[in-house]
Chain A
Amino acid sequence: MSLRGYRLFQGLLMALLGLFLLSRLRDGRILLYLNQRFVWLVLLAALVLLGMAQVVLQARPGLREETERRSPMGLVWLALPLAIGVLIPARSLTQEIVAVRGMQTQPIVLRANVPARPVTIPTTQWSILDWIQAFRDAPDDQVGKAVDVTGFVFRDSSLRADQMIVGRFAITCCVADASAVGVVVHSEQAASFAQGEWVRVQGRVSWQDVNGEAQLGFEAETIERMDAPEQPYLFP
């Protein structure tokens, strides 16, 4: 390919990549790929790509470069993420990924120096991640507190028929590090919910017997089926 033709396609591809990132930022779907803390970096990258695209498209080969030939293969590789991003609808990770990564139900540390939820926020507004952090920091203080959380249903062989896990994916950086976190829920209706189904659980914190071990969980008062939320991830 001549240098002039190469520059044309290179500039167009950079512009399209920049516009793709901007479109994902505009409709909020960028949060299906990354933690919100890194959104400004993507905005910056999109603007730099557009600026570079303009310079590349305006570049005129010098006399010595007129006869230069370049392989278009490099352009093809960078077209791949663009094609995947445009052709495959942006969706959150499905619960099948839990089978590969496992479900974390024990108190874990996802980010240090993050203060626990202020006591001024009602516990019914806490997310699963807030609960897991509270279970780690002061387990006995949480028993009896009111709960209202949403998440997907996960069940494994360690749970009884009247137990299930309500879980979410937590993303520290990008979906590559997504970890499934969840809390055990006790309910007589537990068996009626399908794996991966989204539910809203209301109830109270209580100690649960999981495989012979005491573990903090939720005693459900009501469980409602619901659609997956627009933003299914939790960001520590």
Chain B
Amino acid sequence: MTNFAAIFLGIFIEAVPFLLLGTLASGLVEVYLDQEKLVRWLPRQPLLAAVIGVGLGLVFPVCECGTVPLVRRLLSKGVPPALGMAFLLAAPVINPVVILSTLTAFGPGVVFWGRLGLTAVIALLVGGVLGADPDVHMVLRADAGLTLHCVQADGQLLPGQRFRQVLLVAADEFFEMGRYLVIGAALAALMQLFLPQSWFLAVQSGPVLSSLFLAALAVLLSICSTVDSFVALGFAGWMPVGAVLAFLVYGPMVDIKSVLMFGRVFRKRVVVYLVVLPLVLTLLLTGLINVFWKGG
């Protein structure tokens, strides 16, 4: 029980700052972002919108715990679904904090550029596919909580009142998404205690199986993308480079806690696509890297 408590609290405490960051960003978007201007400025063409979504993490540096509440809020403000879905998948990697941590861990080599490039390509493709229909209700659940403490941008509110409003929105989001963090952390802790890692080691060879092994391990460990590079370093010496990339690309997109959060916000069909499409693309692209990359 003490091992469960240690791992569960380790994941929870490590994720709380990033969940708070995401919910505060969501609160700022809700209170300060003018819906009409936003809708007017952003492109409606899915692929173009997805391109902007891929780079938006550079402005909103949130990791996987924070993207779900922020994307829900952005979609409710009229952001095109293609942009929202591309941002959802890309932001946990293509943001200043993760770029810096990956650079620190691996240097400017194949893993660093591969992580950014593969994440951008996968987010672009999946965002373009899932956001092909501009109707936001095609991706969001009917009860996605869009009315949750919605605040109209009211010019009459004083700056102090607006800021308090930001914190109230953030508090509500923290409790709503936090429950999935708690469940996800508990599941990850249980799996870590009862699923021997030696089972995975049996399939470490082969270009696709090795990638599948590390992608599955990333989902199982549910480590925040801001620090997963340092964990991936442990595999760098004995696993193919494509497999290490699978850990670094798929893990930030999909893990136990983020899937639970997806389920609260998106339609079932969309959740399945969000899990399966990035996995297939990750295995395909990293498998090709494993076959053709000869080091250097």
Contacts and interface: CB of A to CB of B under 8 A. Distances in A.
Interface of A: 10, 14, 17, 21, 24, 30, 32-34, 38, 41-42, 44-45, 48-49, 51-52, 55-56, 58-59, 73-75, 77-78, 80-81, 84-85, 88-94, 96-97, 99-102, 108-113, 172-177, 179, 236
A96 B3 contact: yes
Interface in B151-186: 164, 167-168, 170-171, 174-176, 178-179, 182-183, 185-186
A24 B5 CA distance: 14
Given A41-B17, A109-B233, A100 B194 contact: yes
B10 interface: yes
A176 B9 contact: no
Contacts of A32: 6
Given A100-B196, A112-B233, A45 B5 contact: no
Contacts of B193: 97, 100
Interface string B191-202: 011111110000
Interface stretch (B45-53, B79-87, B217-225, B287-295): B217-225
Given A33-B6, A93-B3, A102-B196, 5 more contacts: A55-B168, A81-B185, A88-B2, A109-B234, A177-B223
A73 B5 CA distance: 22
Contacts of A113: 104-105, 107
Nearest to B178: A78
Nearest to B221: A176
Contacts of A88: 1-2, 5
Contacts of B17: 41-42, 44-45
A133 B197 CA distance: 23
Contacts of A58: 164
Contacts of B178: 74, 77-78
Q: Which of A51, A113, A177 has the largest count of B CB atoms less than 10 A from its CB? A: A177
A33 B10 contact: yes
Contacts of B188: 176
Nearest to B2: A91
B286 to A, nearest CB: 20
A176 B189 contact: yes
A interface, by DSSP: helix, strand, loop or mixed?
helix
12 contacts: A30-B13, A38-B227, A55-B168, A78-B175, A90-B9, A91-B5, A91-B6, A100-B192, A100-B193, A108-B237, A172-B231, A179-B234
Nearest to A78: B178
B32 interface: no
**Chain B contact residues, majority secondary structure:** helix
Nearest to A179: B234
A81 B12 contact: yes
B14 A173 contact: yes
B7 interface: yes
B2 A100 contact: no
Nearest to A175: B10
A97 B185 CA distance: 17
Given A80-B182, A176-B188, A85 B105 contact: no
B192 A174 contact: no
B275 interface: no
Interface string B101-128: 0001111000000000000000000000
Nearest to B13: A33
Contact of B167 (A52, A111, A172): A52
B20 interface: yes
Contacts of B13: 21, 24, 30, 33-34, 42, 81, 174
Nearest to B176: A74
Contacts of B167: 51-52, 55-56
Task: Give the interface centre of B6, B24, B106, B192 by most chain A CB atoms within 10 Å.
Answer: B6
Contacts of A73: 179
A134 B234 CA distance: 16
Contacts of B221: 176-177
B145 to A, nearest CB: 11
